[in-house]
Structure 1
Amino acid sequence: PLALDRPSGDPPIGVLVVAGVESELLDVRTTLTTLAEQSALAVERFSLSQEINRQDSEAYFRTLVQNTSDVILILDAGERVRYASSSAVPVLGYPTLEGRRLTDLVPPEDSQTVVRMLADMRAHGWKDRREHWRVLRSDQTRIEVEVRCSDLREEPTVGGLVLTLRDVTERRQLERELTHRAFYDSLTGLANRVLFEDRTGHALTRGRREGSVVGVLFVDVDDFKVINDTLGHGVGDELLVAVSLRLSTTIRASDTAARIGGDEFAMLTGDSMSPRDVETFADHVIEAFREPFKLTSGMVNVSVSVGIATTEDSDDAAELFAHSDLALYSAKTAGKGQWRRYKPELQTNLIERHKLQESLDATNVETSFAVRYQPIVELPTSNLVGFEALVRWPHSTRGVVLPEQFIALAEESGQIVPLGAWVLGQATSDAAGWRREGARRAYEDDLPPAPLYVSVNVSARQFRDAGFVDMARRALESSGIGPETLVLELTESVLMSRGDNVLECMKELTDLGIRIAIDDFGTGYSSLSYLREFPIKILKIDKSFIDGLGVSNQQYALIEGIVNIAETLGIAVIAEGIENTMQRDLLASMGCPLGQGYLFAQPMNSTDAESLVHSSQRLGLL
């Protein structure tokens, strides 16, 4: 017998059986007894070790359960909490959970789902199942938890369903934020380009299945850069948010509005019966912007230009988007607050524009361009007072390329800076020749020389160049003309860029004696405050206003008002685009002093301009 010498007199714990010849076994009996005693000690030590390990393991796991951040619940057969780990207090806020129904811990709308899940666990005996639940804290705050469910009803030490709840509220919120950032614009909350293209693809698939028309509208805020520069980027962002809200009110729940970037938006509309329905929708979008926006800086009026492409043009999402972008370019070229629909020739025009850009990049400014001069006259007397220098591009294969075709390209590429410098140098050089010849003729005829000047257009890109003032100074020095002979014409967009030291640059030019003129006044965000804030000496009224003279009383009153205000401020006014004597006479009658246009002369080369100077010097008339 495997017996131990215990005071308690415990029975033997086992038996050592040895088989063999009896006579031989008798000889080793003492040895076998000793072996049995040693075996008993070994078995006892093993049993004690197992018990110690079991107790240590239980203590270890009890410590883990009590200190884990996860909540561990054991449910009885009635779905009540029989056991809750101590972590339930900080996570759920209840001082005790024992005896509570599990359904009391979830929102009412989720209780049926939880009940069904627990029933499935009991019916199928799943050892492991993972769920995502919403749980109510004691203060009724909702948190999100990952739930691991285990059926341990057969385990004697557990005897129930075990739920392990992990609070993932912050993690899920972060996941949602990251997802939102990936698919939505952070400023406006609209869909971004990625989500827009994805939804366009789904809409095209549905449209092919249902036979409906899908339309993509590319929307751009007209003159947004002007507002952004004049009122500040904060107001610009506020306007973009307001625009996004305005666009959102024009769409149906099944449509999508997205911000593509900057001031560009896109709209997706499906389920249309024909392309005309999409065009009607574009009319609706443009009409929505008739109402001004009320911003923190005040009321702001903006319009939008819209490009349209439909599945009649393409059933590919990327191509549809590109087509609407082309149509938008066409709409902005046509003017503000308009829409244009994609046409195949737009693609041809784009290719042609690209070729023109390549040709422009390859040209030599001094040998490829020419300067033409249009006379500026006194309206009451028709006396010649100066010329406006106009750049032309006589192309070897295209013929004469007009400024409206290449100036924008030159600005985009930066070539407008060397081109503008060349025009300024050429114009001042020609003006020096006219003045010398005019002075000589005046001396021969014993007449005072006419104070002729030359007016040169300056683009916004050219004016912002750091070396522009020095370039103007060098043009005066190299030509030898006085600064009063030179007028620089700026567009209103230059005045909008107040953050670019515009006023400082203008003052440097006027300190040199150069006069500043504002060209095309009235076509942009005109403000009479500019006439007071900036050192402006000449105001040029755009041809579009002159065209309405004799047709619209309002147009007449508007021009007359501008002329009167300018006269009060000591600013000369030039009316552009005068084409008939009626326009000239009406302008003269309201006191407009100067004008130019085809009525007097078309743009001419330097030689013809010099001949005109000679006749004007001698006759005083054109």
Structure 2
Amino acid sequence: MASRDRPAGSGLPGVLVVAGPPERLTEIRDALESLAAHAGLATERVALLEEISRRESEAYFRTLVSNASDVILIVDDDDTVRYASPSARDIFGGLQPTGAVLPDLVGVRDRERARQALRALRADGAPETHDHWWVTRDGSHTEVEVRCSDLRTDPTVAGVVVTLRDVTEQRRLEQELTQRAFHDALTGLPNRTLLLERVDRALLRGHRDPALTCLLFIDLDDFKLVNDTLGHAAGDQLLRAVGERLTATLRRTDTAARLGGDEFAVLMEEVREPVDAELLAAQILQTLSRPVRLLEDSVGVSASVGVATALDSRDADELLRHADLALYAAKAAGKRQWRRFRPPLHDRVVRRHALQARLDAVVGNGGFDLRYQPVVDLATRRVVGFEALVRWPPDPRGPVPTEQFVALAEETGQIASLGAWVLRNAVAGAARLQASASGPAPYISVNVSARQFREADFLDQVRAALGTPGLRPGSLQLELTETVLMRRDPQLDAVVRAVKDLGVRIAVDDFGTGFSGLRYLREFPVDVLKIDKSFIDDIPADARQVALVEGIVGIAHTLGLDVIAEGIETPAQGTVLAGMDCRYGQGFLFARPLVPERAAALLDATPEALSGP
């Protein structure tokens, strides 16, 4: 039943079927027609709302697709792109991929894989697959994450939907994070984490193959001095140069790593004999010894190397520990040295660690002893001053040689605390000696290390020392080694001149051992040259040595400097020195380093008592 008012030719939204006796149907026909009209209008309204909703959804998803950064492609069975979202132009370099064969748009190396992925998706019936492809655009390469969904049975799609996402920047960031996690930011070398991983792998291979794994630890000598004198920028430049030199020295199978600070390591794999690692250690020392140009300065570099092999190590931890022990032994032997770990080395290092613990305790409680060795006027044989020398205190475990604990204090950084203690107590002892002197007050000479001189509070220490009650003005002398003055810089110049302004004399200790020119004698405010013992030993019998010492004395006099000859042990040496107008001397001929009471007694000693046997 349809409404009489419906236009002719228009489609019917539906049919109202009513069954009943004809007479009754005729009676209610008008009512039924009205019901049919209302039902038709309701049905049309529902259909209209559905159409509006469908069109709004299409517009919504069309907007989403148009603005999505991901690329959406619909691919037919022949791999031809039937539809491509607008963002496809960004991925494919401005090209519109519609109508192109999808694998042909992929990088050459990935084309076959793209074909196989699409073929497998259609053949296996899998709902979707995931992959990564490279797409070439404008001469560059873009990495895309690929997701393929089989929607061929969906009548609205009827094809394979391929979604592409540009992950190039994401991969770059991932690689950068990986680089940072496993490489040193300054040198670009592998860091400790990556080195340990490679050591573990190398040792595992070593269990299967006859090849040997070796590890070298490298530590730069005096790197802190470079940082302090030339600045951290120069220090960083030096570390980069060391990394480059190490890399250039190694085989392709070796790994150079930076462990931190001025410490580097080299992992050697597939080594035949331990001697190969020893040869490399010597080569590294030679390579690093060449001067490095830093900013406007050329700096000499030296290093210490410790060598360990898997022959003496059960696992990676032990291999690293042995390399560290070997490095420790190399540094203890002096600069530019290498040492290979051997089992007896462990005991020596343990003893050295024990000595360091003892040193910590003595430095902490200030328990050192001081001895005073007199400086004598060679003409009058009268004491004019004393050099304060630090000694290990009485110890049930036995004495420790001065050169041994001083070198350890230099290495561990405790030399600053030790030096401050010596300066403070030396001037206090000097004040007591001066109070007991009946004649001219003797001066006191104190050795100062390079590190101590660069301490921020060093000038305050000197001022405090000069304020010691009873200390005569102008009676403090500080001794610097020639090596310190050779490595001059604005900071050192300023400190030396500030010390001089306080009325302190400056002496150059061990003069002649630094292999330097004499220019610094003119440029530095030096007062005294102390000629090293090695020049004095043979002067009674060696005419060339006499001429050399005479030359030093003559230069000093020309520059207005006093000269002290160190290490005088025989009357003959004293006679020769006095004859060449070397005014002052020091050595066992006159006295060994003395306790304060015996040093005070020498102040009133006769010239004969200081003339030796």
- The question of whether the paired residues in 2 share the 8 Å contact of 1:229 and 1:496 is answered with no
* Residue pair 2:427, 2:471 contacting (<8 A) in 1 also: no
CA distance in 2, matches of 1:150, 1:549: 97
* Pairing of 1:259-338 with structure 2 (within 5 A): 259-338=258-337
Partners of 2:550 and 2:461 in 1: CA distance = 37
The one of 516, 519, 524 equivalent to 2:506 is 516
Change (3 A) 1:406 1:299: closer
2:357 counterpart (355, 358, 366): 355
* Partner Cα separation in structure 1 for residue 21 and residue 172 of structure 2: 82
Structure 1 runs not aligned, ≥5 long: 440-448
Residue 370 of structure 2 corresponds to residue 371 of structure 1: yes
Amino acid in structure 2 at the alignment position of 1:389: A
Q: Write the mapping of 1:243-262 to structure 2, written as runs, cut at 5 A.
A: 243-262=242-261
Unpaired runs of at least 5, structure 2: none
Does the Cα contact within 8 Å between 2:415 and 2:449 map onto a contact in 1? no
Q: Within 1, Cα distance between the matches of 2:380 and 2:142? A: 86
Question: C-alpha separation between the residues in 2 aligned to 1:205 and 1:466?
Answer: 50
Aligned-residue sequence identity (percent) comes to: 49
**Counterpart in 2 of 1:606?**
596
Deviation at 1:194, TM superposition (A): 1.6
Q: How does 1:27-38 map to 2 (within 5 A)?
A: 34-38=34-38
Amino acid at match of 2:354: E
1:132-175: per-residue Cα shift (whole Å, max 9, x none)?
Answer: 222211x2122222222223333334333333222232222222
Shift of residue 581, structure 1, vs aligned partner: 7.4
Amino acid paired to 2:201: H
Quote the offset at 1:389 in angstroms: 0.9
Distance 1:17 1:558 in 2: 137
Is 593-602 or 237-246 further displaced after alignment? 593-602
Supply the distance in 2 between the matched residues of 1:36 and 1:78 (Cα, whole angstroms).
52
Closer/same/farther in 2, CA of residues 154 and 232 from structure 1, 3 Å limit:
same
**51 and 20 in structure 1: CA distance in 2 versus 1, 3 angstrom threshold:** same
Distance 1:466 1:91 in 2: 60
- Output the amino acid matched with 1:96: Q
* Aligned match of 2:426: 424
1:443 corresponds to = none
Shift of residue 416 of structure 1? 2.4
Letter in 2 for 1:74: I
Determine if contact 2:432/2:470 at 8 Å carries over to the other structure: no
How many angstroms does 1:19 deviate by? 7.3
After TM superposition, give the deviation of residue 248 of structure 1 in Å: 0.7
Q: How does 1:446-485 map to 2 (within 5 A)?
A: 452-460=442-450, 462-464=452-454, 468-469=458-459, 471-476=461-466, 478-485=468-475
Moved more, 194-203 or 463-472: 463-472
Q: Does 1:395 align with 2:403?
A: no
Is the 2:229–2:491 contact (alpha carbons within 8 Å) kept by the matching residues of 1? no
**Which residue number corresponds to residue 85 of structure 2?**
85
Tell me: CA distance 1:562–1:211, structure 2 relative to 1, closer, same or farther (3 Å): farther
Alpha-carbon separation, structure 1, partners of 2:182 and 2:548: 49
Superposition deviation, residue 501 in structure 1:
4.6
Match of 1:99 in 2: 99
CA contact (8 A) 1:229 1:497 kept: no
In the TM superposition, residue 308 of structure 1 has moved relative to its aligned partner by: 2.0
Q: 2:381–2:607: 8 Å Cα contact kept in structure 1?
A: no
CA 1:579–1:101 in 2, change beyond 3 Å: closer, same or farther? farther
The residue type paired with residue 251 of structure 2 is R
Pick which of 565-574 and 589-598 moved more: 589-598
Instruction: Spell out the pairing of 1:144-163 with structure 2 (5 A cutoff).
Output: 144-163=143-162
Counterpart in the other structure of 1:204: 203
- In 2, the alpha carbon distance for the partners of 1:528 and 1:597 equals 25
User: What is the TM-score of this pair, normalised by structure 1?
Assistant: 0.84
Q: Distance in 2 between matches of 1:208 and 1:565?
A: 66
> Is the CA contact 1:372–1:390 (under 8 Å) kept in the aligned structure 2?
yes
Does the 8 Å contact 2:564/2:583 carry over to 1? yes
Aligned residues of 1:217 and 1:309 also touching (Cα < 8 A): yes
Shift of 1:294: 3.9
> Are residues 1:615 and 2:605 paired?
yes
Contact 2:564 2:582 in 1 (8 A): yes
Deviation sequence 1:549-594 (CA, Å, 0-9, x none): 8999999998777666545433334454455678778877887665
Give the paired residue count.
606
What amino acid sits opposite 1:243 in the alignment? V
Per the TM alignment, residue 195 of structure 1 is displaced from its structure 2 partner at its CA by 1.4
| Partner AA of 1:190 in structure 2 | L
Matching residue of 1:65: 65
What letter corresponds to residue 316 of structure 1 in structure 2? Answer: D
What is the distance in 1 between the residues matched to 2:542 and 2:316? 47
Distance 1:97 1:335, change over 3 A: same
Which residue in the other structure is 1:538 paired with?
A: 528
Indicate the larger mover: 550-559 or 459-468: 550-559
For residues 42 and 491 of structure 2, the distance between their equivalents in structure 1, rounded to whole angstroms, comes to: 97
Aligned to 2:112: 112
- Quote how far apart the aligned CAs of 1:370 are: 2.1
CA distance in 1, matches of 2:43, 2:543: 120
Contact 1:579–1:599, Cα closer than 8 Å, also in 2: yes
C-alpha displacement of 1:356: 0.6
**Aligned pairs (5 A) from 1:378-389:** 384-389=383-388
How far does residue 102 in structure 1 lie from its aligned partner after superposition? 3.3
The 8 Å contact of residues 307 and 331 in structure 1, kept in 2 or not, is answered as: yes
SS at 2:508 equivalent: strand
Superposition deviation, residue 500 in structure 1: 8.4
3-state SS of paired residue (1:142): strand
* Range moving further from structure 2, 509-518 or 89-98: 89-98
Structure 2 residue matching 1:401: 3-state secondary structure? coil
Could you list the per-position Cα deviations for residues 254-301 of structure 1 after superposition, in whole angstroms to 9, with x for gaps in the alignment? 221111112111111122244333223222222322433344425432
Are residues 415 and 74 of structure 1, via their aligned partners in 2, closer, same or farther at CA, if it must alter by over 3 Å? same
Task: Name the CA distance, whole Å, in 1 between partners of 2:608 and 2:284.
Answer: 60
The within-5 A match list for 1:123-272 is: 123-137=123-137, 139-272=138-271
Separation in structure 1 between the aligned mates of residue 332 and residue 505 of structure 2, nearest angstrom: 31
Q: Is the 8 A contact 1:255 1:267 kept in 2?
A: yes
Name the CA distance, whole Å, in 2 between partners of 1:110 and 1:559.
Answer: 81
Contact 1:374 1:603 in 2 (8 A): yes
Shifted more, 302-311 versus 75-84: the winner is 75-84
Q: How has the CA–CA distance of structure 1 residues 326 and 594 changed in structure 2, closer, same or farther, with 3 Å as cutoff?
A: farther
Distance across 2 between alignment mates of 1:42 and 1:425: 114
Structure 1 residues 500 and 293 mapped into 2: Cα distance closer, same or farther (>3 Å)?
A: closer
Flag the 1:284–1:584 CA change in 2: closer, same or farther, 3 A. Answer: farther
Equivalent pair of 2:363/2:418 in contact (CA under 8 Å)? no
Secondary structure of 1:175's aligned partner = helix
Question: Shift of the alpha carbon at 1:489?
Answer: 1.5
Please identify, of 484-493 and 140-149, the stretch whose mean Cα deviation from structure 2 is larger.
484-493
The question of whether the paired residues in 2 share the 8 Å contact of 1:420 and 1:458 is answered with no
- In structure 2, distance between residues paired with 1:26 and 1:566: 147
Structure 2 contact 448–479 (Cα < 8 Å) conserved: yes
Give me the whole-angstrom Cα distance separating, in 2, the residues matched to 1:554 and 1:333. 35
TM-score calculated relative to the size of structure 2: 0.85
SS at match of 1:63: helix
Contact 1:4/1:12 (CA < 8 Å) preserved in 2? no
Given that 2:213 and 2:267 are in contact with CA atoms closer than 8 Å, whether structure 1 keeps it comes out as: yes
* C-alpha displacement of 1:330: 1.8
Larger mean CA deviation between 334-343 and 455-464 belongs to: 455-464
1:550 and 1:32 map into 2 onto residues whose CA distance is 148
Does 1:487 pair with 2:477? yes
